[in-house]
Amino acid sequence: MHFQSLVVSLLLATSVAAKGNEIESTKTVSESGQCKEMVKLNKLVELASNTTKLDAITKNNATKIAEIQAKASTASTTLKTLESNSTLMSACAVIDAQAAENDQCQETFALQRFVRFAANSTAVATATKNNATKIAKIQSEASKASTKLQTLTSNSTLQSACPAVMQKDECKMMNKLQKFVDVANNQTKLDMVAKGNTTKEAGIKAKAAKAQTKLTAMTSNATFMAACTAIEGEKTTAENGISSTNLKSAASMLKDAGAGAIGLSTILVVVVGMFAL
Ligand SMILES: *[C@@H]1O[C@H](CO)[C@@H](O)[C@H](O)[C@H]1NC(C)=O
Ligand SMILES: *[C@@H]1O[C@H](CO)[C@@H](O)[C@H](O)[C@H]1NC(C)=O
Ligand SMILES: *[C@@H]1O[C@H](CO)[C@@H](O)[C@H](O)[C@H]1NC(C)=O
Ligand SMILES: *[C@@H]1O[C@H](CO)[C@@H](O)[C@H](O)[C@H]1NC(C)=O
Ligand SMILES: *[C@@H]1O[C@H](CO)[C@@H](O)[C@H](O)[C@H]1NC(C)=O
Ligand SMILES: *[C@@H]1O[C@H](CO)[C@@H](O)[C@H](O)[C@H]1NC(C)=O
Ligand SMILES: *[C@@H]1O[C@H](CO)[C@@H](O)[C@H](O)[C@H]1NC(C)=O
Ligand SMILES: *[C@@H]1O[C@H](CO)[C@@H](O)[C@H](O)[C@H]1NC(C)=O
Ligand SMILES: *[C@@H]1O[C@H](CO)[C@@H](O)[C@H](O)[C@H]1NC(C)=O
Report how far residue 7's alpha carbon sits from residue 270's, in angstroms, rounded to the nearest whole number: 12
Q: For residue 40, give the amino acid letter.
A: K
The reply to whether ligand 8 has any atom less than 6 angstroms from the CB of 246 is no
Host H or E run for residue 250: helix 244-254
Surface-to-core class of residue 108, CB atoms within 10 Å of its CB (0-12 exposed, 13-18 middle, 19+ buried): buried
What is the average per-residue pLDDT within 142-147?
96
Residue pair 115/138 in contact by the 8 Å Cβ criterion: no
Residue scoring higher pLDDT (145 or 236)? 145
**pLDDT for 257 beyond 50:** no
Instruction: Look up the pTM and report it.
Output: 0.67
Sign of CA dihedral 210, 214, 217, 220: negative
**Residue 272 pLDDT level (bands cut at 50, 70, 90):** low
Mean pLDDT, the chain, rounded, equals 81
Positive or negative torsion for Cα 37, 40, 46, 47 = negative
- pLDDT score at 231: 86
pLDDT of residue 29 exceeding 50:
yes
Distance 14 CA to ligand 6 centre (A): 37
Distance CA 246, CA 34 (A): 36
Q: Is the CB of 138 under 6 A from ligand 9?
A: no
Asked whether residue 24 carries a pLDDT value surpassing 80, the answer given is: no
Atom 12 of ligand 4, residue of closest alpha carbon: 155
Residue 223 has pLDDT above 80, yes or no: yes
* Burial class (CB within 10 angstroms; exposed 0-12, middle 13-18, buried 19+) of 97: exposed
Indicate which residue's Cα is closest to atom 7 of ligand 6: 133
C-beta 206 within 6 A of ligand 4: no
Taking the C-alpha atoms of residue 121 and residue 113, their distance in angstroms, rounded to an integer, is: 14
What's the confidence (pLDDT) of residue 17? Answer: 34
Longest dimension (CA), the chain: 62
Pocket of ligand 5 (CB under 6 A): 120, 122-123
* Predicted pLDDT of residue 30: 84
Q: Is the CB of 69 under 6 A from ligand 9?
A: no
Q: Is 187 in the pocket of ligand 9 (CB under 6 A)?
A: no
Q: How far is the CA of 56 from the centre of ligand 2 (A)?
A: 14
> Distance between CA 74 and CA 195 in Å, rounded?
51
Do residues 18 and 33 touch, judged by C-beta distance below 8 A?
A: no
Q: What residue owns the CA closest to ligand 9's atom 11?
A: 197
Neighbour tally for 20: CB within 10 Å: 10
The pLDDT assigned to 268 comes to 53
Tell me what pLDDT residue 274 has.
58
Q: Is 47 helix (H, G, I), strand (E, B) or coil?
A: helix
Q: What pLDDT is stored for residue 265 in this prediction?
A: 53
How do residues 169-216 score in pLDDT, each as one tens digit? 999 999 999 999 999 999 999 999 999 899 999 999 999 999 999 999
Does ligand 8 have an atom closer than 6 angstroms to the CB of 221? yes
CA 167 to ligand 8: nearest atom: 5
Give tens-digit pLDDT for 33-48. Answer: 999 999 999 999 999 9
DSSP 136-158: HHHHHHHHHHHHHHHHHHT-HHH
Residues with Cβ < 8 Å from 41, sequence gap 6 or more? Answer: 75, 76, 78, 79
Cα separation, 96 vs 9, in Å, equals 29
Q: How far is CA 55 from the centre of its chain?
A: 30
User: What is d(CA 274, CA 77) in angstroms, rounded to the nearest whole number?
Assistant: 45
Residue-wise pLDDT tens digits, 53-110: 999 999 999 999 999 999 999 999 999 999 999 999 999 999 999 999 999 999 999 9
